A and B are shown apart, each in its own frame.
Chain A
Amino acid sequence: MRWKTTLTGSAALVLLLLFCGGDTHAQESHIGNLTGNVKRGKALYERYCIFCHGKYGDGRGESAPFLDPKPRDFTKAVFKCRSTPSGSLPLDSDLYDTISRGVHDSGMPSWKPLLRQERADLIAYIKTFSSAFQEEKPGAPVEIPPEPPISAESIQRGAQVFESMNCWSCHGKDGRGHGPSASALTDSKGYPITPFDFTSGSRFKCGETDRDMFRDLVTGLDGTPMPSFASAMTTDQRWDVVHYLRSLSSHRTHGQLAPISQQ
């Protein structure tokens, strides 16, 4: 009987250490050399975020009924803009970049006027809305190799991949976002959602650079119909598609800005 007690005791201790260790780690955020604090983040959340994202972080704030797209439900821990594979949690820096950049064509402003430390604190608090951040670790960030130069051949190859991968069924043959499946699309909450119009020259939701587009193709935009092409395309094919999509817009938005978490 004694072995059982010893086993129980040591197992409990190990579990305890895991819980304690896991707990403290998930109560902070780490972005570059910033460490975010949950308590400060909570005060900031109640000042800035609560009316859209709700007291419980479930996206059901007072203003939510009037917003389209709906504010993010943090309790699901499903995020569009990540550098990690589809189905895995984002890095802290992914969340930081999202709130710094804002989400174009939505009610989410850019929170760059907040101090970097304040944004890091907010991320620490946002992670407390879902236990997934304590139970799992984020996936490994995707590799983004150097971009090959743009060429007419690359654009043509990209057009072929756009065709064979059925991108046109949502984005349309001309990339305007009116493909045959577009009208039936809903996000994972069931709200109607429209595919991106590549001719609009508008800013993408998860960053404006070619590297951001490449990364979006690998990670997909979780919570939306936009899937991950991680295994479906080779690296070269992905760059070809990026070049093709750029060619659809007459606007020259080739900005090579570094991610905001690095600024």
Chain B
Amino acid sequence: MEVLTLRRIGMQLLALGFLLTSVQPAHGIPAFARKYGLPCSACHEAWPMLNNFGQTFKDNGYQVGNGRDAPIYQEPTYWPITFRINTSWHRESNNRTAVDVIPGNAGGGQVERTVTTSGFDVNSLDIVTAGTLSSNISFFVQPFINSGSSSLAQAWARLDNLGGSRWLNLKMGKFEMDELISQERILTLSGTGGSYFNYFFTPLGDNNVFEGIGVPQLGVELSGHSDNDYRRYSVSVLNSNSGQSGVPSNNTYDVYTNLNQAFEVPKLGMQRVGVYGYFGQSPTYFQTSGGIPISGTGMGNRSFSRVGAYGQWYVGKFDFQTFYMHGQDNVFLGNSVPANQPASLPPGAKAPTWNGGFVEAHYDYNPRLILIGKYELIRMSQEANPGIRSNAGNLDAWTVGYRWYPIMNPRAGLAWVQEYGRVLNTGAAPLSGKDDISNSFLMGFDFDF
């Protein structure tokens, strides 16, 4: 049991590693700046992170509301396409990677060794086209190109301000969940700092197809907001297949909702608090033909949830983002057992639950320099079965860094970035079951046109 579990742990880590190296960069959209003549800093605290003016612009359907939003009013220099690319030098290190005792000899046994890699790198290219198709119809298309392969990361259209009301906006397609602390607009880029781990976490031994609230999903979203964007709501109905397009739904639908309210604190600034919940059902097995699963025929659906609260706090030149998540997967999902084989559940199997969260602090020295510090943790409160050590899968991660924007004008932006981060996965070392620690150092340019 132990070996099987550990192998699964290894696979989880590999998956995590792949995800980390291919994580989609986030969005600052100079095309909008070009359209309106505004600087990046008007909409972004420090791009890609949005400030309230930018969030309001986004919630209004990428419209400023001055009668010049429809595409026919484009300025001569407006070209509705944005490119984003990072070039960097970075160093990754992991303290317990399984390596062959004799390099090249697969049968000679393995040990855990520290493995360090470093060098220049160019991350994936992000292309975004977004804006208004006409007054009150907005769109967003984001192809994602990485290592020669490409996919559609997001593609949606939205009917804005239905019936003239800001409370009714309908979005359809593949889209990022309505999250004010957004994975798509994260400020850090490195292997350890480039993700909010809570947004992607799946406990050890779990085969839930749901990859997390940080992954764009397929479905419809109804959202709305008050005039000054202080009160916002959204409710989405989504496919239960974690946003994989081309594969029809697994016969069930998930629901995601986000409610938040902002308020002013005199002398400090604007604060916002919110609650969210993702309630879904994932299949535990499929109909098969000749032993091969028929896609879209998920069966044995079992429920899972990700709920929590978050806050965005402005205190003078500082701003903080706080996040809490409580996650729970059904016992069958947690143990990777089909629901029609309850006898296969290991004795003492339970539904895995965990709590996690992060605090991210920024010091906004001026619109061109932001200092970043982040600490994130995940704690399992209930493992899927007694065979898994009680704190296996726990995670502690921190990142520090800064972004400096020597070029920031309505045409394009350039940031110089330096980051250092460290993540500790409890009990995740592939051979010994000890703690697995990775750290990364990154410095480079983040270029946005």
Contact = CB atoms under 8 A, between A and B. Distances in A.
Point out which of B37, B64, B76, B266 has the most chain A C-beta atoms below 10 A from its C-beta.
Answer: B37
Interface string B171-199: 00000000000000000000000000000
Interface string A111-133: 11111110000000000000000
Interface stretch (A40-48, A151-159, A161-169): A40-48
Contact of A109 (B41, B65, B227, B409): B65
Interface in B73-109: 75-77
A206 interface: no
A113 B53 contact: yes
A49 B26 CA distance: 25
Nearest to A104: B67
8 contacts: A47-B39, A47-B367, A51-B38, A102-B64, A102-B66, A113-B53, A113-B228, A117-B266
B76 A103 contact: no
A51 B409 contact: yes
A113 B52 CA distance: 6
B42 A114 contact: no
Contacts, number: 78
The contact size tier of chain B is 20 to 34
A234 interface: no
Contacts of A102: 64-66
B52 A114 contact: yes
Given A66-B75, A105-B68, A203-B67, A111 B366 contact: no
A113 B55 CA distance: 9
Interface of B: 36-39, 41-42, 52-53, 55-56, 64-68, 75-77, 227-229, 264, 266, 269-270, 366-367, 409-410
A103 B65 CA distance: 10
Contacts of B39: 47-48, 50-51
A202 interface: yes
Contacts of B270: 115
B52 A106 contact: no
A219 B133 CA distance: 39
Contact of A105 (B41, B66, B228): B66
A110 B66 contact: yes
A88 to B, nearest CB: 27
SS class of chain A's interface: helix, strand, loop or mixed?
Answer: loop
Interface residues of A, number: 31
B66 A103 contact: yes
Nearest to A61: B37
A48 B53 CA distance: 10
B37 A46 contact: no
Contacts of A107: 36-37, 66, 68
Nearest to B52: A113
A78 interface: no
Contacts of B367: 46-47
A99 to B, nearest CB: 12
Nearest to B39: A51
B42 A104 contact: no
Point out which of B77, B228, B366 has the most chain A C-beta atoms below 10 A from its C-beta.
Answer: B228
